[in-house]
Amino acid sequence: MRRIALTGLIGLLLITGCRRKAGNGADLQAVPVKTVPVLVQRLSEPVRTSGFLSSEAEMKLSFKTGGIIDKVFARDGERIRKGQILASLKLDEIRGMFDQAQNGYEKAKRDFVRAQNLYRDSVATLEQIQDAETGLNVAKAIYNTAEFNLTHSAIVAPSDGRILKRLAEANELIGPGYPALVFGTEGSEWLVKVGATDRDVVRISAGDLASVTLDAFPGSRFAASVRTVGGAPDPMSGVFEIELSVLKGTRAFVNGLMADAEIFPSRKREYRVIPFEALVDVSDTRGFVYAVSPDRTARKLPVTIGFLTDGIAAVERGLEKTDRVVSEGSAYLSDGMPVRPVEE
């Protein structure tokens, strides 16, 4: 009897030891993971687009009259002061027209004085003096026009600024009003003009915040806001033009720089926010996350992604009943696998 009891006791101890070893093995096989809370936030899906930087006050300067260009003093990118002469025409023909108008005006004045004297002496009639007065007025108008054209035969800087583009050269024949220089006003507001689709433009309003990055200044992000929203699409591209007002800070902006922009519409909706690293098997707006079940196994959950920005994922659906997700270690998990949560 003693021998049977001893044999049973040894068997019981062996079974218990085997169970303990199996249990320790299961603990060792559990994948260590870190979890983070699911945050509920009201966010707006950013509109991502691109465009070009330009100064607000951009003018195309031209000559009032046509003619042959004598000199172009301004160069591309040159800083200009108000009143500085930028270009001029050859004045031979224009001055000849001015001299002709001036001589005609002087003659008309003499004719009018002579008619007045003759009228006082009852030699000239009222009609003759009226004709002389009309001739004087016409000659004066012609003279004023010729003087104006002579004065505006040079392009003068309307304010402090910078030459953005030189479009004409000396000895070229240029027509009246044809652009010779593109001029940007100093201290004017800087804009980025971008395009938005019909789906995005309905979410954007004037005053919405935005941020801009420029290839010319890697690593820098510039604060911006929506200045205007186009009311109709461009007939060629089909997109709506959006103007962003950009704060340049101390940077030396130049017209034409390529810009990438993110616009944050003021209209917001509720999302569940998790780190981007928590997502697995992402395809378009679909993906999966892992949560930890009460029995310490991984539970794979499908989610619908609203958008991704700044290292976070805004989830539309799938996390309504989950308060924590796996943020580190999810790449090594499969559904039902034992896990060992690690404290942050």
pLDDT at 186 (0 to 100): 63
Picking from 203, 230, 264, the residue at the C-terminal end of a domain is 264
CA 234 to chain centre: 17
CATH of the domain at 140: 1.10.287.470
Could you give the number of structural domains in the chain? 3
User: Would you say residue 98 lies in a domain?
Assistant: yes
E-state strands within 8-66 = 31-37, 39-43, 47-55, 58-62
Of 242, 264, 286, which residue is a domain's last?
264
CA nearest to 86, candidates 175, 154, 184: 154
CATH number of residue 224's parent domain? 2.40.30.170
Read off the pLDDT band of 342 (50, 70, 90): confident
pLDDT at 292: 92
> Is position 246 within any domain?
yes
Position with higher pLDDT, 239 vs 343: 239
282 and 326 within one domain? yes
Which residues are CB-neighbours of 72 under 8 A, at least 6 positions away?
86, 87, 166, 168, 169, 170, 180, 181
Residues 227-259: pLDDT tens digits? 999 888 888 888 999 999 998 777 778 777 899
262-301 burial: b if 16+ Cβ within 10 Å, else e: bbbbeeeeebbbbeebbbeeeeeeebbbbbbeeeebbbbb
State whether the Cα torsion 248-250-254-257 is positive or negative.
negative
Q: CB 202: neighbour CB atoms within 10 A?
A: 13
7 falls within a domain: no
Instruction: Give the domain extent around 318.
Output: 30-43+269-341
The pLDDT score that the predictor gives to residue 140 is 93
Residue 132: helix, strand or coil by DSSP? helix
Of 77-91, 245-259, 300-314, least confident by mean pLDDT is: 245-259
78 domain-assigned: no
The Cβ of residue 75 has, within 10 Å, a number of other Cβ atoms equal to 8
Q: What is the CATH number of the domain that holds 319?
A: 2.40.420.20
Q: What is the pLDDT of residue 188?
A: 63
Same domain, 276 and 227: no
Q: What is the mean pLDDT of residues 65-88?
A: 87
Q: Does residue 120 have a pLDDT over 80?
A: yes
The average pLDDT across 290-312 equals 90
49-58: pLDDT as tens digits = 999 888 767 7
Residue with tokens 């943020």: 327
Q: Is residue 159 part of a domain?
A: no
Q: Is residue 51 part of a domain?
A: yes
Say if residue 276 is in the same domain as residue 337: yes
Distance CA 41, CA 47 (A): 18
